[in-house]
Amino acid sequence: MQIRKTLVLAATAAAVSFAPQAYAQTLTIGLGTEPTSIDPHYHNLGPNNQIAQHFFSRLLEQDEKQNLSPGLAESWKPINDLTWEFKLRKGVKFHDGSTFDADDVAFSFHRAGNHPNARSSFGLYTKGKTIKIIDPYTIHISTEKPYPLMAVDVSNIHVVSANEKDKWEGEYNNGKSAHGTGPYKLVKWVKGEVLEMVRYDGYHGAKPHWERVVIKPINSAPSRLAALLSGDVDFIDQVPTVDIARLKKNAKVELSQGVSNRIIYLHMDQYRDNPQYMKSHDGKPLTKNPMKDVRVRKAISMAISRDLIVDRVMEGVAIPAGQLLPEGFFGRSSKLMVQKYDPEGAKKLLAEAGYPNGFQATLHGPNNRYINDAKIVEAIAQMLTRIGIKTTPDTMPKSVFFKRGKNKGPAKPAEWNFQLVGWGSSTGEPSSPLRSLLGTYDKTKGWGSSNRGLHSNPVMDKILDEALATVDDTKRAALLAKATEIGVGEDQGIVPLHYQVNTWAGKKGLTFKARTDERTVAYDVVPN
């Protein structure tokens, strides 16, 4: 069943030359981000998932293009309209020597959807599913209605040992419970300094080339590049866009590039009145939230020159966005186009909404999570100020930003009224961002977990529900496109800005597979 198509730019080698013996089996990587925990169910976040897949396997794995392949499950198939069967791999051992079986799968699914301390739940992938153990190496997963994305969902759940009951992020972070079945074992993690891992020779899959991997978090892009050029690290991610043209001319450095599934966008508070970070031009609090008016949200979109951001801020290394995923992905709308820059039209919409002179707002964002994120916030603030929305940029480290900007539903909305964030589709099609970013918050369904603006449209929700129960690819694609046209187009529930194009770099000698999910995976770096 074809569930997606992906667009990937040409990838070239990114590599390093090693000393003959001392470093032959060690790879040192400089990463722009680090995980918040080693616990694979604690935080559904790119940096966490990136590291987790080194230590923990999944029933199905995703390759660099998000195509599915056997993992802990050797085969999978629907056996009726409501039930999928997964045949598990025999003879698999956890890092602690214990044997993997169906109990571990059932335990992991329950844990992933019910982690008591989760900062962003994996319930999106587990809610509404019932697991039945048929025998130690056969499980059935059932839903109340047909669900074509079952295989994709299970590929997002890392399997841990059922022996680790009542063990949470603390025990995983110190290594005591970080026993997976993945290709590497955790040696140590010192947050902010280093993460070390060694090859697990009992791994059930292809043996990784590197015996030892050392990961150093280097948040500063210039420092990360300097570490590569000086030989302190062998390989880096998130190459600064301003340096790409120069690096292409460096014979000792090769680049790997690929279009990602990540969209950079704006969330706007569509729920509360009395917005904390919005004021009238005379500094008085607003009793009415302008962002609740779709005309204001559309005016914001019209006031932003995406071409200027791509050309000037992103140095040409990005693609303007008009919806949730770039060209080539399954379920895109053929009707939604990139919003044209129209500041005069934006002013007219503001006037129609009752804000002819605009208002004051603060645009919050991280300064070390996405490519050039702080610069993007500053550029947008300038553009919005020109149409009368006097915007103050306020950026901060991602650890602070995401903690304060997290949404926990109507009872505890995100602190920020207006924020820049990003989202990478783990499913490779629109259902993931539609459910998480635009679906009405519903903890029981796992919807709206990252809906920081608390957008809600029952019509969109109904169409999305129908799409998630439609097996026919053509019909499901049309429904996903329609839901996107409502949530992004008609409602302007979010403001799409651009899709990231990711760049990795290293010295000659290695080949790296650029991934649409943006992850830097050590076993994808191999000598050529």
Cβ pair 269, 289 in contact under 8 A:
yes
Do the domain assignments include residue 518?
no
Please name the residues in contact with 511: beta carbons below 8 A apart, sequence gap of 6 or more: 13, 14, 15, 525, 526, 527, 528
| 62 part of a folded domain | yes
pLDDT at residue 82 tops 90: yes
Q: Give the model confidence (pLDDT) of 215-230 as tens digits.
A: 999 989 999 999 999 9
Are residues 271 and 170 part of one domain? no
Tell me what pLDDT residue 13 has. 31
More confident residue, 384 or 10: 384
Residue 475, in any domain of the structure: yes
Instruction: Look at residue 2 and tell me whether its pLDDT is greater than 50.
Output: no
Please give the helix or strand (H or E) that residue 53 lies within, else none.
Answer: helix 46-55
Using a 10 angstrom Cβ sphere, with 0-12 exposed, 13-18 middle and 19 or more buried, the burial of residue 169 is buried
Shared domain check, 495 and 378:
yes
How many domains, the chain? 2
The reply to whether 204 falls in a domain is: no
Q: What is the CATH classification number for the domain harbouring 480? A: 3.10.105.10
Based on the fold, state whether residues 134 and 270 are members of the same structural domain: no
CATH code, domain with 176 = 3.90.76.10
**Domain endpoint, select from 182, 217, 246:** 182
CA distances from 99 to 39, 110, 202, 318, 499 (A): 20, 19, 12, 45, 42
Query: Do residues 6 and 65 make contact, with C-beta atoms less than 8 angstroms apart?
Result: yes
pLDDT band at 311 (very low <50, low <70, confident <90, very high): very high
Domain coverage including residue 280: 261-501
Give CA–CA dist 510/218, Å, rounded: 21
Contacts of 20 (CB under 8 A, 6+ apart): none
pLDDT tens per residue, range 312-359: 999 999 999 999 999 989 999 999 999 999 999 999 999 999 999 999
Side-chain-facing half-sphere of 311: CA atoms under 13 Å: 4
- Residue 178 inside a domain? The answer is yes
* Phi-psi label, residue 396: left if phi above 0, alpha if psi -120 to 50, beta otherwise: beta
What percentage of the chain has pLDDT greater than the value 90? 83
Q: Using alpha carbons, select from 197, 97, 186, 87 the residue that is nearest to residue 137.
A: 87
Task: Tell me 107's DSSP state.
Answer: H
Which is higher by pLDDT, 494 or 516? Answer: 494
Looking at the structure, tell me whether residues 147 and 272 fall in a common domain: no
More confident: 402 or 495 = 495
CB 236 within 8 A of CB 504: yes
